[in-house]
Amino acid sequence: EAQDLKKELLRYKQEARNLQGVKDALQQRMSVQESAVLQLKQELLRASMARDELHGHNAELQRKLEERSRLLSDYKKELGQKDRLLQQQQLKLDDALRKLSETSRHKLSGSTGRSQNNGYPHPPGAGAPLAATHRGTEELQLVRDALRSLRNSFSGHDPQHHTLDTLEQ
């Protein structure tokens, strides 16, 4: 019976060693898994921080986009106003040029009238050439004012300044 007890004791010792080995292996495995979990938590924290940073950057970009959209809208309004002003000034200029052309035609017809009067000017009581000259001076001033107004509506380096210079001369 002592032999049986020794065999049983040996078997239990062997089983205890096996269980200790299993326990050590499980503890090692648990340690590796805890390390992996800790690493995953760190990666999750970094990803969360990166996501928060991206949300902040996105909000900043959205704010800038809204600001630029507002500026674009303002510029479009301003451009529309300047276009309307330019059209008005162009109409004034066209009208002034038409009047100037009419005045020039009247002066030319007046000079042909002198030749019909044998080269002598109209009699002093007529007064027509004096009124035409006065009207021509007013129209010329109107054209100059229109050109000045157009010049002021253009930017400093606008190529339209050359066209205005040509018209002015």
pTM beyond cutoff 0.75: no
Residue 147's contacts (CB-CB under 8 Å, 6 or more residues apart) are 93, 164, 167, 168
Phi, psi for 77 (deg, rounded to 5): -60, -45
Distance, CA of 131 to CA of 128 (rounded, Å): 5
pLDDT at 27: 97
Q: Helix 128-153 crosses helix 2-116 at what angle (to 10 degrees)?
A: 170
User: What is the average pLDDT across 21-25?
Assistant: 97
Burial of 100 (0-12, 13-18, 19+ CB in 10 A): middle
Q: Give pLDDT, residue 124.
A: 47
Query: Per-residue pLDDT tens for 140-158?
Result: 777 778 778 777 777 767 7
Please give the full DSSP string across 67-121, using - where no structure is assigned: HHHHHHHHHHHHHHHHHHHHHHHHHHHHHHHHHHHHHHHHHHHHHHHHHHTTTPP
Q: 130-147 burial string, b = 16+ CB within 10 Å, else e? A: eeeeeebeebeebbeebb
Write down the pLDDT at residue 67: 97
Q: Is the pLDDT of residue 161 over 50?
A: yes
Q: What tens digit of pLDDT does each residue of 110-133 get?
A: 655 544 444 444 444 444 455 556
Taking a C-beta distance cutoff of 8 angstroms, is the pair 122, 113 a contact? Answer: yes
